[in-house]
Amino acid sequence: MTHLRKTLGTVTAIVATATLAMPVSAAWAHSDDAGRAGYGRADLQRGLDDIVREDGVVGAQATLVDGKHRTSVRSGTAELGTDRPVPHQGYFRMGSNTKTFVSTVVLQLVAEGRIHLDDKVDRWLPGVVEGNGHDGNRITVRQLLQHTSGLPDYAPKLPMIDEEGFQKNRFHQYAPRDLVDIALRDKPLFEPGKGWSYSNTGYVLAGMIIEKATGRHWSDEVRARIIEPLGLKHTFSPGTRTGLPQPHAKAYQQFKPGGRLVDTTEVSMTWGDAAGDLITTSNDLNRFWRSLLGGKLLGPQQMAQMLKTVPAPSETAKYSREMGLGIMRTQLSCGGGYWGHGGTTLGHLNANGFVDKGKKFGKDLKGIIVMRSTNTAAEDREDRTDQLVDDALCKMD
Query: Would you name the residues annotated as active-site residues?
Result: 96
Contacting residues for 256 by C-beta, under 8 A, at least 6 apart: 10, 11, 12, 162, 163, 377
Nearest Cα neighbor of 235 from 281, 299, 200, 275 is 281
Residue 297 C-alpha from the chain's centroid: 19
Sorted by sequence, the CB contacts under 8 Å of residue 228 that are 6+ apart come out as: none
In this structure, are residues 8 and 161 in contact, taking their beta carbons and an 8 Å threshold?
yes
Q: What b/e string do you get for 197-210 counting C-beta neighbours within 10 Å, with b at 16 or more?
A: bbbbbbbbbbbbbb
Query: Which amino acid, one-letter code, is at 81?
Result: G
Q: How far apart are CA 290 and CA 296, in angstroms?
A: 9
For residue 205, give the nearest of 109, 129, 133 by alpha carbon: 129
Omega of the bond leading into 245 within 30 degrees of 0 (cis): no
